[in-house]
Chain A
Amino acid sequence: MYQGRYAQRMRSLWSQLEPLLPLVSKPIQYVGGELNSSVKDWGSAEVRWALMYPDAYEVGLPNQGIMILYEVLNEMDGVLAERTYAIWPDLEKLMRENGVPQFTVDGHRSVADFDLLGISFSTELGYTNMLSALDLAQIPLATAERTIDHPIVIAGGHAAFNPEPIAEFIDCAVLGDGEEAVIKITKIVREWKSLGRPGGRDGVLQRLAAAGGIYVPRFYDVEYLPDGRIKRVTPNRSDVPYRVSKHTVMDLDEWPYPKQPLVPLAETVHERMSVEIFRGCTRGCRFCQAGMITRPVRERSITGVAEMVQRGLDATGFAEVGLLSLSSADHSEIAEIAKGLADRYEGSNIGLSLPSTRVDAFNIDLANELTRNGRRSGLTFAPEGGSERMRKVINKMVTEDDLINTVRTAYQNGWRQVKLYFMCGLPTEEDDDVLQIAVLAKRVIDAGRQATGGKDIRCTVSIGGFVPKPHTPFQWAAQCDHETIDHRLKLLRAAVQGDRRYSKNIGFRYHDGKPSAIEGLLSRGDRRVGKVILTAWQRGQRFDGWSEHFSYDRWAQAAADVFADSPISLDWFTTRERLETEVLPWDHLDSGLDKEWLWSDWQESLAGGEVDDCRWSPCFDCGVCPSMGTEIQVGPTGKSIPLMPTSSLARS
C-alpha cells in the first residue's frame, strides 16, 4: 500500500497537463525549465518544499523573496524546493474537469505531495489565490481538517505580520527575513521526520512554535468583547511564547542571493535582474508598512553589490540591472556604486536603474551616471502627499520647492517626463490637500517649460487610495471611505483638465477607492475575516490584484452576509478609528516596534510633527534594535568597484 502510494507520488503530472496546454493562454508559464531553475531528485530528498507566489506567473516569477528561498533551500543537501504559482481561470477550469491537481512548474509534482508549502504574501490580495491553490491541490482548506500526510502550510512576506484573517487556513506564519528561517524550519522538519514524526501534525507545529519567529495560530485563542473588539489573545498551551518576534538577517554580504537569478521564457512584469542593495528603511514614512517592519537598515557593501551584479549578469544575460531597496538613493555609497558600475559596463549596452528614489535624495550626477548609455525618458518621484501639510502628517519631508528644483534640474539634463505618485485618503486629509496635487503638477510643467524653452513636457500623476497597515503609526487610523476618495479624485481631475494651458501635458492615473476598502479589511482584519475570504472565494473571487477579476460587490456582499447580526462589519474594520487601549489583532506579533512609540508617533503625526532618520540623527526609540538585538549597518566602506576586462568570442 505504502509502496504503491509512494510510486504514485513520484510521478510527474506533466503527461496529464500537457494535452491541456494548447487550449489555454500563455501556456509557457506552466512548463518550467527556466534558466537557472533546478529539479532535484525527489527520492533522495528528505525535506521537500513547494514555494508559492500567490499571483500569476508573470508577477510571481520575478519575486525576489521566492527566488532567494528557492536557491537557499536547493543548495542544501537532502532538501528540495520547487515553485508553484496561481493558475489562471482558463487552466483551472480544465484542471478541475480533468482531475489535475495544483502542480509545481519545476518537476510538475502535485503540491499535496510536499512536506511544506511556503506562500509568500507581499500583499493581502493573494489570499483568495491561496485558497484556489489549496483546493486544487486537494489539501483541506481548514488547518483543523489536515492530516499528518498533508503539507505544512506556511505564510511569509509582509502580510504575514498580520496573518489573522487567514489563521484558519495556514499552519504557521514566519515573521521577518526568510533566509535563515527556512533553514531552521527545514532542520526541525527533517529531525521530526527522522524520529518517526512524533506527536503527529501538532508535534511538528509545536517544535516550530517553540523555535522562535514562527507563529502557529492554532496555539493561540482569541476572545472578544460584546462590542466586537478583541478582549485578549492568549496561548492555549504552555510551551509557546506569549508574543512571537520577527527574525532579522544581519550582514547582507553573507547572503548574496539570488546568485543564479531565474530567467523566464515568458514575459514578466520585470525584465531585469535585481540586486537588493539594502534592506530596511528608517525614513519613517508613517504609512509605509515595509519601512516599519524591516528595520533596521542593513546595507550590502559596495563590493558585495558589484559581485552580485557581475555574477547575476553572467548567469542570466539580462540587459538591465535594478538596484533595489525601499529607497535606493539612500545607500551610503550609492554615488560610488552607480559610477563604478557605469564605468565597468561602459559600452556594453547594460542599463542600470534605481527603482525607488526619494525626491530629497535625488542627485543629478547619480541620475546621469545611471543613464550614461541609455535614454532619459522618465523620472519617477513619490511625494505621496499633495500638500505640504499632508507630507508632514505622513512624515515625508519634501518641500514643494525641493521637488520643483529637482524637477528643473532633471529637465535641464535632458529628461522630458516626470511621474509623480500620490496617495488619497490619508489621515486628516481634506479636499484642498488633494487639489494641491494639481497645483504641484502645473508648477512641474512650468519648471520644465522654463528649463527647456519648449512646450513638450509631460507630467504623469498617479494616485492610489491609502490603506492603513498593521505595525505602522497609522494602524489606529480611520480609513477614508471610498465615496470620499472618489469625490476628491473627481475634483482633482476637474482641476487638472479644466486648465487648457496644462491639461494636455498632465496625465492622470488613478483607481477608484473600492479595492482599497477590501485591502483595508484584509490588512487590519482579525480571525473573523477568514469566513469573508472563504465566502468571497467560494462565490468565485480570484486574482484580487487584477481589476478585471476583482469584484467589490462580491466582497462587500460576502462581508455583509458573514457579519449579519453581529456588531462588526466591513466599515467597522476599515473606517473606524481605534483607541489607544484597543487590543489590535496583531499585538501578539512583535515587529520590534514599541507600541507606545507607534502611538506617540501617531499623535505627533496629527500635530504635524516630523521625525528624522536615525541613520543621520540620534535614535528616536522606535524600539526595534534593543528588542530584536539588531543594529544599523551602513557604510561608507571607502572601497570602490574595479574595472574588469570584458571578454568576448571574437576571433583574435
Chain B
Amino acid sequence: MDAPHQQEPVVQRLRLKYAKRGRLRFTSHRDFARAFERALRRAQVPIAYSSGFSPHPRISYANAAPTGVASEAEYLEIALKAVAEPEVVRSRLDAALPLGLDLVEVVEARTPDFAARLEASLWQLELPGVARESVSAAIGAVLAEHEVMVERLTKDGVRRFDARGAICTLFLGENLGGDVAIAGERPLSVILNAVVRNGSPSVRPDDLLVALRVVAGLVPTSPTFVTRLAQGPLDASGNVADPFDHDRE
C-alpha cells in the first residue's frame, strides 16, 4: 500500500469570530464543527490538512459556548495552504453556513498565544418572572461571598466546585444586543450581566443560576435565555476587551 499523501504546508493562519444566534443556539459544538468543515469546502477556502492516512482540516476551536446558549463571540483559528483575503473568507463562509451561524469578523493571525487571550466572557442572562430589586439583592449577596459551592451533573456523576472565584463582576443591564430581535416573543425579563473568567473549573451560565439560587433563593419562572456577548482579555477596569486588537494593524 502506498504511503499517505503528503499534504501541502501551512502558509497563513486566520482567526475567526462567529455568532450562534436564534434557534441555531441549540447547535452543539460537535454539530458546529461538522457544519464548519462542510462550509469550508463549499466556500472553497484553501484549508490546510494534516498529513496521514486520515487527513483532517487544520482548525483550532476555543471555549465553545454550551449547547442552547447563544453567542455573539465564538472564536476559532484555521490554517491555510494558500494565502486568502480575510474579508473574502468571512463573506464566503458566512454564505456557506446556515443563517444563525454567522461569521462576524476574520483577521490574519499576527501574534502567538491567541487561546490564552480568551481570558474571560461577558454573559447576558435574561431572567423571566423575577423583580429587578430581587436580582439586584441577589447580585449583592453573591458578590459578598468568598466562595459559593455549586453542583453540576456531569457524565461522571455530580461535581461540586466553587463558582464564586471565577466571577469578576455581576451587574444589572439594559438589553445589550445579542439576538433578541431575531428570537421575538420572549417573556419580559430582568437582564443580568456577568463577567466570568474562562478556565478550570469552567463556570458556565448554568452555574451562575445555581449560585443565585443557593445564595439568594432567586428562581426565574421559565428557562433563562443566555447570550455570550464578548470574550477576550480582561482589561485593568475588569472589562472584556477585543481579543483581535493585537492582530489588527
Contacts and interface: CB of A to CB of B under 8 A. Distances in A.
A420 interface: no
Interface string A176-215: 0000000000000000000000000000000000000000
A413 B2 CA distance: 10
Interface stretch (B21-29, B134-142, B190-198): B21-29
Contacts of A271: 34
B89 interface: yes
B201 to A, nearest CB: 22
Interface stretch (B38-46, B115-123, B168-176): B38-46
A22 B82 contact: no
Given A19-B223, A651-B84, A267 B31 contact: yes
A650 B84 contact: yes
Nearest to A17: B23
A648 B26 CA distance: 31
A315 B5 CA distance: 27
B42 A316 contact: yes
Contact of B24 (A33, A314, A414): A33
A27 B24 CA distance: 10
A603 to B, nearest CB: 49
A107 B223 CA distance: 22
A312 to B, nearest CB: 11
A651 B31 contact: no
B55 A649 contact: no
Given A316-B42, A317-B39, A651-B84, A18 B98 contact: no
B165 interface: no
A319 B47 CA distance: 13
Interface string A629-652: 000000000000000001111110
A317 B36 CA distance: 9
Contact of B83 (A18, A266, A651): A651
B26 A28 contact: yes
B204 interface: no
Contacts of B35: 35, 263, 265
B82 A267 contact: no
A480 B186 CA distance: 57
A443 interface: no
Contacts of A649: 43-46, 84-85, 88-89, 92
B41 A319 contact: yes
A31 B24 contact: yes
A31 B92 contact: no
B49 interface: yes
Interface in B1-43: 1, 5, 23-24, 26-28, 30-32, 34-35, 37-43
A21 interface: yes
Size band of the interface chain A makes with B: 35 or more
Size band of the interface chain B makes with A: 35 or more
A34 B38 CA distance: 13
Nearest to B80: A650
A317 B42 contact: yes
Interface in B27-81: 27-28, 30-32, 34-35, 37-46, 49, 53-55, 67-68, 80
B38 A32 contact: no
B30 A267 contact: yes
Provide the main secondary structure of the chain A interface.
Answer: loop
Contacts of B37: 317, 319
B5 A373 contact: yes
A267 B34 contact: yes
A648 B31 contact: no
A28 B28 contact: yes
Given A375-B53, A650-B46, A27 B26 contact: yes
Interface string B208-225: 000000000000001100
Given A265-B27, A649-B92, A375 B54 contact: yes
Interface string B143-180: 00000000000000000000000000000000000000
Contacts of B31: 28, 265-267
A265 B98 contact: yes
A54 to B, nearest CB: 23
B38 A263 contact: yes
B223 A15 contact: no
B53 A35 contact: no
B185 interface: yes
B112 interface: no
Contact of A317 (B38, B55, B222): B38
B99 interface: yes
Given A21-B68, A271-B34, A317-B38, A651 B85 contact: yes
Interface in A1-34: 14-15, 18-19, 21-23, 26-28, 30-34
B23 A33 contact: yes
Interface in B94-134: 96-100
A239 B85 CA distance: 67
A234 interface: no
Nearest to A315: B42
A646 B46 CA distance: 11
B98 to A, nearest CB: 5
Contacts of A550: none
A522 to B, nearest CB: 34
Contacts of A373: 5
Nearest to A649: B84
A318 interface: yes
B39 A648 contact: no
A263 B84 CA distance: 26
28 contacts: A14-B23, A15-B185, A28-B26, A28-B28, A28-B31, A28-B67, A30-B26, A31-B23, A31-B24, A31-B26, A33-B99, A263-B35, A263-B38, A265-B32, A267-B30, A316-B38, A317-B39, A319-B37, A319-B41, A373-B5, A375-B54, A646-B44, A648-B44, A648-B45, A649-B43, A649-B46, A650-B83, A650-B84
Given A265-B98, A650-B46, 9 more contacts: A15-B184, A18-B23, A19-B222, A35-B35, A317-B40, A318-B41, A349-B49, A649-B46, A649-B89
Interface of B: 1, 5, 23-24, 26-28, 30-32, 34-35, 37-46, 49, 53-55, 67-68, 80, 82-85, 88-89, 92, 96-100, 183-186, 222-223
**The 4 nearest A-B residue pairs measured at CB:** A650-B82, A317-B38, A317-B42, A414-B1
